[in-house]
Amino acid sequence: MADIQLTAYNVKTKEKGVPIQDAVITKTAKGAYMAQGHDGKGNKLTTLLGEQKALAAIEAGIAKKGFE
């Protein structure tokens, strides 16, 4: 699964499918996975992920693990 790409909606520019750079995967209080990063232009991006996609992104080296 090397073709994994984390994307999010950019609220500021109203663009869909913006790739997340320097992503960090964290867990919410209810156990959901969340990717946080930026778009390369200074805008912060956040999106919710399923467990399978989040762990696959960490394994592929696309995102860093921010939880224990």
| pLDDT at res. 3 | 82
Give alpha helix (H) positions in the chain: 51-60
Q: Does the pTM of the predicted model rise above 0.85?
A: yes
pLDDT in tens, 7-66: 999 999 999 999 999 999 999 999 999 999 999 999 999 999 999 999 999 999 999 999
| CA angle (32 as vertex; 46, 30 as ends), nearest 5 | 120
At 32, phi and psi to the nearest 5? -80, 160
At 40, phi and psi to the nearest 5? 90, -5
> Domain locations in the chain?
7-65
**Gyration radius of the chain over CA positions:** 11
If we measure between CA atoms, which residue out of 4, 35, 9 comes closest to residue 22?
35
| pLDDT at res. 2 | 59
